[in-house]
């Protein structure tokens, strides 16, 4: 039986690697819907190759351009064209499994639509779960819904937990971090790093936003919140009852051990592979089975040493900010995630310094209003307020640089 696949965020790094994985197993997977944020040209190249039944663009101002391009390319095919958040969400309703590779909070409608439809969600968009955890947990309980993480760390935990049939026997989770391009650097030495420096990740090939997050360790902090939502107390019966205090971050520069689970008897199970995002993508596509093509297999004769260390929290304060937001709960993670998106965008445009990212995030989190995040309107309002506050912080620091 062929599994139908929706790829939302198809022109980005995760999206393109998903399409490559699908192409490696054409007898088992077929792409039925595609969506991108604003890249009409990139999306049209995929439409020409794959001929999906539905194609969508997140930027509504580009709807006419996309519709005209589809009509000109495939006049004899009935390809539906959609736009905006509703269009992205509709893509997920058309497939057996949806890969949500949208960057940032914009991925939330896709997450909710897929789960509420009772389908399998391959989640690469951590922000939707982080910012709207309580709402996503409700959708997750829909009959038939499955949430399989695509982040390499969470996919690793997901696999390790399959070795255990008693959630009460899980003691701790260890989330590994490469340390990013600035591993070993002091806080003082990081004051003048450039955008190019921060984008030079030593082991992973990722999009610009997540690469900057890796350089600040905000990515790891958000992954801790996500791990708590996926596997901890908020997940209810879908989790193993751990709390944020049961999750460790371990620096592992080789990026071979992607995460570990320690059990009550002291035994630790780890998932290892060479660094490639195709493996967690393929794992989510095939779950509960295994993908027919091998990605990231280890040559044990040449692997060499595996090193582990603790993160330098003074040089990378974003990590502790994420733990703080997770412990506050409610809309605090949404505030932090939104502020970080604004700050990272400003840094990529060279409006602020790298060190300003953590300062902006801290200032916004300090202003959190205690929102509970129990309604979508509350989450959206929190996201909006945090972006406004972060924007003001960016303007203040930009003015200071001129």
**What structural domains does the chain harbor?**
3-149 (3.40.50.720)
Nearest to 337 by CA among 353, 351, 326, 349: 326
pLDDT for 374 equals: 84
Q: Do the Cβ atoms of 156 and 230 come closer than 8 Å?
A: no
Q: Do the Cβ atoms of 174 and 250 come closer than 8 Å?
A: yes
Q: Distances from the Cα of 185 to the Cαs of 76, 180, 201, 221, 270, in angstroms? A: 58, 10, 14, 18, 28
Q: Please, which residues bridge with residue 183 across strands?
A: none
pLDDT for 402 equals: 46
- Looking up tokens 């791990």 gives 227
pLDDT for 230 equals: 96
User: What is the token pair recorded at 197?
Assistant: 């420096």
Q: Please, which residues bridge with residue 120 across strands?
A: 97, 146
pLDDT for 260 equals: 98
Virtual torsion, Cα 199, 201, 205, 206, nearest 10 deg = -50
| Tens-binned pLDDT, residue by residue, of the chain (402 aa) | 899 999 999 999 999 999 999 999 999 999 999 999 999 999 999 999 999 999 999 999 999 999 999 999 877 788 999 999 999 999 999 999 999 999 888 899 999 999 999 999 999 998 889 889 999 999 999 999 999 999 999 999 999 999 999 999 999 999 999 888 899 899 999 998 999 999 987 777 678 888 999 999 999 999 999 999 999 999 999 999 999 999 999 999 999 999 999 999 999 999 999 999 999 999 999 999 999 999 999 999 999 999 999 999 999 999 999 999 999 999 999 999 999 999 999 999 999 999 999 999 999 999 999 888 888 899 999 999 999 999 999 999 986 564
Q: Do the Cβ atoms of 339 and 386 come closer than 8 Å?
A: yes
């Amino acid at each position: 039986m062929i599994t139908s696949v929706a790829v939302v965020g198809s022109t980005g790094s995760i999206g393109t690697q998903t399409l490559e994985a699908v192409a490696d197993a054409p007898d088992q997977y077929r792409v039925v819907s595609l969506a991108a944020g604003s890249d009409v040209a990139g999306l049209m190249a995929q439409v020409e190759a794959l001929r999906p039944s539905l194609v969508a663009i997140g930027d509504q101002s580009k709807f006419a351009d996309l519709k005209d391009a589809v009509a000109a390319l495939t006049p004899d095919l009935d390809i539906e064209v959609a736009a905006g958040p509703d269009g992205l969400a509709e893509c997920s309703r058309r497939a057996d499994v949806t890969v949500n590779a949208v960057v940032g909070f914009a991925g939330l409608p896709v997450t909710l639509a897929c789960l509420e439809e009772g389908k399998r969600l391959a989640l690469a968009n951590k922000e939707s779960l982080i910012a709207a955890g309580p709402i996503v947990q409700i959708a997750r309980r829909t009959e038939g819904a499955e949430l399989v993480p695509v982040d390499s760390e969470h996919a690793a935990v997901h696999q390790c937990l399959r070795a255990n049939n008693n959630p009460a026997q899980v003691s701790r989770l260890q989330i590994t971090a490469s340390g990013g391009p600035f591993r070993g650097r002091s806080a003082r030495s990081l004051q003048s790093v450039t955008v190019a420096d921060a984008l030079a990740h030593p082991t992973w090939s990722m999009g610009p936003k997540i690469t900057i997050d890796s350089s600040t360790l905000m990515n790891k902090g958000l992954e801790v919140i996500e791990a708590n939502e996926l596997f901890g107390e908020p997940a209810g019966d879908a989790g193993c009852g751990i709390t944020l205090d049961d999750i460790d971050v371990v620096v592992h520069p080789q990026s071979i051990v992607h995460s570990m689970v320690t059990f009550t008897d002291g035994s630790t199970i780890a998932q290892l592979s060479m660094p490639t995002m195709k493996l967690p993508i393929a794992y989510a596509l095939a779950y509960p089975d295994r993908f027919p093509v091998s990605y990231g297999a280890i040559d044990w004769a040449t692997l060499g040493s595996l090193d582990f260390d603790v993160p330098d929290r003074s040089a990378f304060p974003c990590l502790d900010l994420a733990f703080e937001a997770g412990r506050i709960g409610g809309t605090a993670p949404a505030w932090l995630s939104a502020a970080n998106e604004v700050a990272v965008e400003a840094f990529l445009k060279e409006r602020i310094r790298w060190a300003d990212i953590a300062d902006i995030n801290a200032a916004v989190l300090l202003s959190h209003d205690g929102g509970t995040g129990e309604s979508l309107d509350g989450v959206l309002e929190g996201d909006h307020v945090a972006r406004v506050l972060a924007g003001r912080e960016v303007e203040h620091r930009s003015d200071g640089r001129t």
